[in-house]
Amino acid sequence: MKIISGTAHRELAGKIAEYIDQPLADVEVDAFPDGETAVKINENVRGEDVFIIQPSCPPTNHNIMELLILVDAARRASAERITAVMPFFGYARQDRKDQPRVPITAKLVANLLTSAGVNRVLTMDLHAPQIQGFFDIPVDHLYAKPVLINYLRERHPDTSNLTVVSPDVGGVKMARAYADALGAELAIVAKHRISSTRVEAMNVIGEVEGRDVLLVDDMTETAGTLTAAAEILHKHGAKRIYAGVSHAIISELALTRLADSAIEEVITTDSVPQAHGSKIHAVSIAPLLGEAIRRINGGQSVTSLFNV
């Protein structure tokens, strides 16, 4: 086995390598003066099971291109199998034609990865789970739920007064899974998106008055959905408001919004390097990904990793 890290999230790659007791391969990733990416693998990977760790987080286009170049280098060096480990899969929100003359970019990225020479993809909490079907190669789709729920149980052992809330109708299935695992009630916030950065929350379906609330979402970038939902929950009498998010691509706008919001804490994973800031607690997914890599390499099942 060889573990290769791109430049997108070296910290997470180091934690994964440490968990499986395997050093990161010696790889040079640099840039030419004109901005082109230069890659050189300084170890023999012939016949090896190669895992390339590279979330496609911002700068998204750069990180995807770097991943493709790393894959091509490993393929031309006669690697036996190449697995793209993408804890966060960028462009997942562009998974369908919702307007005339727009692309399905998630499918394009899947085609690029396969054409470059990827034999398998390991990812977590896709924004649209059906993206797995965009690939004609195996996709191992992990969930952050076990990691986040274990932390929530330690942090908030008493869930008798807890309500799990979906900030929009599309996230009800995810929120229901969290509610069932925590033994909590379920509620929904109906929202209306005004633009890519502005969301107007409309109403609350369910009982939240006098209860602790956990907002659950797969990702946040500007925190517009979370903060709008938190505002209306606060108006409906919610006691303490938390948020559980799989991927926190936190921007400056999001930090400002969260600081001014009723949300006390955002619990997330370290799937991307942007997951840090005030009110944000990142739980590491390195053991989850490391165990998946170990099992894929050994030809074992990864199904048990879905269990809470």
Whether residue 239 sits in one domain with residue 206:
yes
CA–chain centroid gap for 176, Å, is: 19
Specify the CATH number for the domain of residue 36: 3.40.50.2020
Whether residue 278 sits in one domain with residue 150:
yes
| Cβ atoms of residues 214 and 226 within 8 Å | no
Res 167: pLDDT: 87
Whether residue 268 sits in one domain with residue 186:
yes
- Determine the straight-line distance between the first and last CA of the chain, rounded to whole angstroms: 28
| Cβ atoms of residues 134 and 103 within 8 Å | no
Higher pLDDT residue, 73 or 306? 73
Whether residue 176 sits in one domain with residue 117:
no
For the segment 108-118, what is each residue's pLDDT rounded down to a tens digit?
999 999 999 99
Domain count, the chain: 2
Q: What is the mean pLDDT of residues 14-19?
A: 97
Q: Which domain holds residue 231?
A: 145-283
Res 278: pLDDT: 87
Higher pLDDT residue, 196 or 210? 210
Res 191: pLDDT: 67
Whether residue 298 sits in one domain with residue 216:
no
Residue bearing tokens 């590491």 = 284
For the segment 133-189, what is each residue's pLDDT rounded down to a tens digit?
999 999 999 999 999 999 988 877 777 889 999 988 888 999 999 999 998 999 998
Whether residue 133 sits in one domain with residue 155:
no
- Which amino acid, residue 248? A
Percent with pLDDT over 90 in the chain: 82
Distance from C-alpha of 299 to C-alpha of 1, rounded to nearest angstrom: 12
Res 220: pLDDT: 93
- Cite the active site residues: 191
